[in-house]
């Protein structure tokens, strides 16, 4: 297999991706050491019979197929002996602050991605990247009792892939020359920007691995993705990524939508679905250490007309009682007697970290 040269004109950057292993669960095990080695699931109120979703799970639970975003009821069916614990965001935010204090001592060019992961730009640092990463992992564990996996690479895309290759407690370095042997065999879903929908489209084209994507002509991808997205996918498949590490980055909104298999006319069901969707969006909001000031509920009717109703709070909040009340208020401003095809809930005007 041929090796790839570093992209022409690329700056020889050194990027670290630091990813705390099973962060929420690790914080829980720190205060409940008797649960170590057991399958532990953190999510919602910790009640597997509720409609909550999994925030994270220990690696002992993941072997049963349990993953973030999965309904707690599904997780309980997959692993009845699992220990279910409620989410405690205050504890996770405090632990995150301790970790980021350590990261900030390594490099001022630091981009947080939620509470449990970050990119650091070490370009120009005098110390060798591997030595820096080893010391960083050691400092985090000594100060917090928590374990991090670290990836080192010339860009963000490869650094994130690297941090996931040897989890948990991993330390992996990738170069552009490593891409054919170490990155191309991986599933396409590994790439930044390839979600479930894009993955399904790629599978329809007979593309299952990053290497298969890298060897595909752009013309073959354009029908499914358009020229711009197709070229971006090919650049990613070849390990190319020019995104800088951004010290300030505020996400504009977080939302969720659902298209019903059969149009819905029940206001009670719509209220139940909207509440469940808000719970999922709120989990993502709080995982990223953010608060929202504006709540929006969108309805698309049978004739495809779409209407939104929004409510702005006096101040940003992550309080579930306040946000549920706002969603309820927005929902019942809509004409609920009509057949509804799609329901959406969005939180915007985000601020943070808390």
- Structure tokens given for 273: 């679905």
Distance separating alpha carbons of residues 354 and 294, to the nearest angstrom: 17
Query: CA-based angle 303:306:312, to the nearest 5?
Result: 160
Residue 117 a catalytic site member: yes
Q: Given 28, 60, 117, 273, which residue is catalytic?
A: 117
Distance separating alpha carbons of residues 272 and 244, to the nearest angstrom: 41
Q: Cβ(52)–Cβ(42) under 8 Å?
A: no
Tokens 């532990």 — which residue? Answer: 40
Q: Cβ(14)–Cβ(129) under 8 Å?
A: yes
Q: Cβ(192)–Cβ(235) under 8 Å?
A: no
User: What does the DSSP 8-state code read for residue 38?
Assistant: S
Sequence-distant (≥ 6) Cβ neighbours of residue 223 within 8 angstroms: none
Q: Is 139 annotated as a binding residue?
A: no
Q: What is the CA radius of gyration of the chain?
A: 22
Cα separation values, 269 from 74, 118, 173, 273, Å: 21, 39, 50, 6
Cα separation values, 266 from 271, 272, 304, Å: 9, 10, 18
Output b/e per residue, 102-130; b: 16+ Cβ within 10 A. bbeebbebbbbebbbbbbbbbeeeeeebe
Q: Is 116 annotated as a binding residue?
A: yes
Catalytic residue numbers, as ranges: 117
Annotated binding site for Mg(2+): 19, 116
């Amino acid at each position: 297999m041929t090796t790839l040269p570093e992209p022409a004109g690329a700056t020889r950057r050194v990027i670290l991706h630091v990813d705390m292993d099973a962060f929420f669960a690790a914080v829980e095990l720190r205060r409940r050491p008797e649960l170590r080695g057991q399958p532990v699931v953190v999510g919602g109120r910790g009640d597997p019979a509720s409609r909550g979703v999994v925030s994270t799970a220990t690696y002992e639970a993941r072997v049963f197929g349990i993953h973030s975003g999965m309904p707690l009821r599904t997780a309980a069916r997959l692993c009845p002996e699992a220990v279910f614990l409620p989410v405690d965001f205050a504890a996770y935010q405090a632990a995150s602050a301790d970790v980021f204090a350590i990261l900030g001592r390594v490099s001022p060019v630091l981009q947080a991605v939620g509470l449990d992961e970050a990119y650091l730009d070490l370009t120009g640092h005098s110390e060798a990247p591997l030595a820096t990463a080893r010391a960083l992992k050691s400092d985090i564990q000594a100060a917090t009792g928590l374990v991090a996996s670290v990836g080192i690479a010339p860009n963000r895309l490869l650094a994130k892939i690297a941090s996931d290759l040897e989890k948990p407690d991993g330390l992996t370095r990738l170069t552009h020359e490593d891409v054919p042997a170490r990155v191309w065999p991986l599933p396409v879903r590994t790439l930044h920007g390839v979600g479930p929908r894009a993955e399904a489209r790629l599978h329809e084209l007979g593309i299952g691995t990053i290497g298969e994507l890298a060897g595909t002509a752009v013309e073959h991808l354009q029908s499914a993705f358009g020229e711009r997205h197709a070229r971006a996918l090919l650049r990613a498949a070849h390990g190319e990524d020019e995104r800088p590490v951004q010290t300030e980055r505020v996400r504009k909104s977080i939302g969720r939508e659902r298209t019903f298999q059969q149009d819905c006319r029940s206001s009670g069901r719509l209220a139940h679905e909207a509440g469940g969707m808000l719970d999922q969006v709120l989990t993502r909001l709080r995982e990223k250490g953010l608060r929202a000031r504006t709540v929006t509920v969108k309805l698309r009717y049978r004739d495809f007309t779409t209407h939104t109703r929004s409510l702005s709070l006096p101040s940003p909040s992550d309080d579930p009682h306040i946000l549920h009340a706002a969603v309820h208020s927005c929902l019942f401003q809509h004409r609920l007697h009509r057949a509804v095809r799609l329901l959406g809930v969005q939180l915007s005007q985000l601020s943070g970290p808390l």
